[in-house]
Amino acid sequence: MDWKALYEQHVTSVMADVEKALNGEPFEGIVFHSGSQHHYHADDREIPFVTVPHFARIVPAGGADHLLVVRPGHKPRLVRNVPRDYWYEPPVQPDHPYPQILDCVEVDGREAATAAAGDVSKLAYVGDDPKFAKALGIAAAAQQPARLLARLDWQRAYKTPYEIECLREAGRRASVGHAAVRAGMQQGWSERKLHAAYLEAVGTMENHAPYTNIIGWDEHAAVLHYQSKDLDDPKGKRCFLIDAGATHLGYASDVTRTYATAKAHPVFVDMLDKMDSLQRQLVAKVKPNQGFVDLHDQAHRGVAAILSETGVSRGSAEQTYEEGLTHPFLPHGLGHHLGIQVHDVGGHQQGFEGGKVTPPDQYPFLRTTRVLESNNVVTIEPGLYFIPMLLQKHREGPKAARIDWDLVDALTPCGGIRIEDNIVVTETGQEDLTRPFIPGHNGGA
């Protein structure tokens, strides 16, 4: 892989995006700030630093208070802050060709960074620190200007070849952790031990992961963002869900797998097979001009068929769908845009100039309402869960007889199912960036 050529092409593309975003704006350019280091309230402990995404899209330089000064027609200037400090190590920089492509200078501290940036008073500021923007001489109206940000957000959905390769590598890195967890799961390890095995295999620290790993046995698989990690050995050992990713040069993978053991209810095992088939069908439907809301609706139709075929729902798949009985079993959206951020920006955006396409009332948690286009990257992650708090109202409602509650009670200890891969939209269809590295629950693609 010629990363230098890919990155050089990427920078050229992003600079064209910036120039387009600035068209008609009263700014001569943009200062992208990597972000400031913040502390917990009334404490001297530092909150783990996360780079401002618009900066990270251009430069994978770790650490706070770097400045990237972008003016159309000029080489981007990176002012990299490398503090002389014996309390903390300096930011670790990746093996990356950006110093060969950008005009780079190193400084010590924010004051030196301000001086090295030069006169940027006529530029817009994109970052997280209004006080620093003011110190740079940038007026409040030029800080995070709404229309400019909307334009930049919209463009981030179109991934360059460099970005796609970063996302692919993030999936490959995650695959090592998923394999380690799958091996440990088969031995019945605790959630805490499996979490540690994942981090060790990927070679990362917990606060460097793109999001908090979800690692849950049995009922914990029905907590959508389950954040705890039990230290005790699991008791039921019926099913297991892992939702964990990795990063490469700032870009994230986001992958979920669900596994059933010999102790799982046979209907749940059947459901898992059917859900994997449904997920593969939905992935195959990803293509340019495909509306994501429609794709999400097809996921509900697929879940309705599974509920009907397995006897959880009494009635046809069409009846189950039309009566809204899928909603407590699939309460989240089918997926989201993916990139520098796991839930990448612009999923509800109407167009280049901004605006919002609100999710339909029946699907309030859908994160993406855009029509898919070439070089978009999205997750496809249908789920089917047994969540008592969501099912309770249906037990007592007018449609209670439409559900086999004895079967639901027998399946509830298994928790739930989610299967997720990262998909890039190509000119004619799609490419799965993660399934080639992380097999399905039965070991196959």
Q: How far apart are CA 441 and CA 445, in angstroms?
A: 9
The size of the chain, in residues, is 445
Residue 182 has pLDDT above 90, yes or no: yes
At residue 330's C-alpha, the angle toward residues 318 and 235, to 5°, is 125
Residue 444: pLDDT above 80?
no
Cα–Cα dist 365/362, whole Å: 9
CA distance 146 to 227: 33
Q: How far apart are CA 34 and CA 235, in angstroms?
A: 45
CA distances from 437 to 165, 172, 184, 216 (A): 14, 6, 18, 22
**According to the model, what pLDDT value does residue 93 have?**
81
| For the chain, domain boundaries | 3-155, 161-432
Alpha-carbon distance 228 to 184, whole Å?
18
For the chain, the helix, strand and coil percentages under 3-state DSSP, each to the nearest 5? 35, 15, 45
CA 290/CA 293 separation, integer angstroms: 9
> Does 375 score more than 90 pLDDT?
yes
8 A C-beta contact, residue 66 and residue 113: yes
Global pTM reads 0.97
What CA–CA distance (Å, rounded) separates 73 from 215? Answer: 48
pLDDT given for residue 443 in this prediction:
82
> Given this model, what pLDDT does residue 278 score?
98
Provide the pLDDT for residue 197: 98
Q: Render pLDDT for 13-29 as a digit per residue (tens, 0 to 9).
A: 999 999 999 999 999 99
Q: What is the mean pLDDT of residues 348-353?
A: 97
The rounded percent of the chain whose pLDDT value lies above 90 is 95
41's CB contacts (< 8 A; 6+ apart) are none
- Interval 95-141: pLDDT, tens: 899 999 999 999 999 999 999 999 999 999 999 999 999 999 999 99
- What is the C-alpha to C-alpha distance for residues 156 and 355, in angstroms, rounded to an integer? 16
Answer whether residue 442 shows pLDDT above 90: no
* Nearest in space to 13 (alpha carbons), one of 168, 164, 117, 128: 164
User: Looking at the predicted structure, is the pLDDT value of residue 439 above 80?
Assistant: yes
The CATH H-level (homologous superfamily) assignment of domain 3-155 is Creatinase/prolidase N-terminal domain (3.40.350.10)
Residues 201 and 176 sit within 8 Å (Cβ to Cβ): yes
Point out which residues pair with 259 in neighbouring strands: 240
Strand order in the sheet with 255-260: 214-217, 239-244, 255-260
Query: pLDDT tens across 37-68, in order?
Result: 999 999 999 999 999 999 999 999 999 999 99
Residue 250 DSSP symbol? T
Which residue, chain included where needed, has tokens 């990448």? 344
Residue pair 101/9 in contact (Cβ under 8 Å)? The answer is: no
Longest dimension (CA), the chain: 72
Quick one: how far is CA 329 from the chain centroid? 22
Assign domain 161-432 to a CATH class: alpha beta
